[in-house]
Copies of this chain bind each other. A is one copy, B any other.
Amino acid sequence: MRLTTKGRFAVTAMLDVALYAGDAPVTLAAISARQKISLSYLEQLFGKLRRNGLVDSVRGPGGGYQLARTPDAMTIAEIIRAVDEPIDATQCGGRENCHDDRRCMTHELWAGLNAHIFGFLRGVTLADLVAQQKPRQTDVVVMKDHRVATAPTTVDAA
Binding site for B on A (CB under 8 A): 1-5, 8, 11-12, 15-16, 34-36, 76-78, 81, 87-91, 93-94, 96, 98-99, 101-103, 105-118, 120-122, 124, 129, 132-133, 136-137, 140-144, 148-149, 151-157
Contacts and interface: CB of A to CB of B under 8 A. Distances in A.
B15 A107 contact: no
Contacts of A120: 116-117, 120
A16 B143 CA distance: 48
Given A101-B142, A112-B132, A91 B5 contact: yes
A71 to B, nearest CB: 14
Given A2-B3, A2-B4, A117-B120, A109 B91 contact: no
Given A3-B3, A90-B153, A8 B106 contact: yes
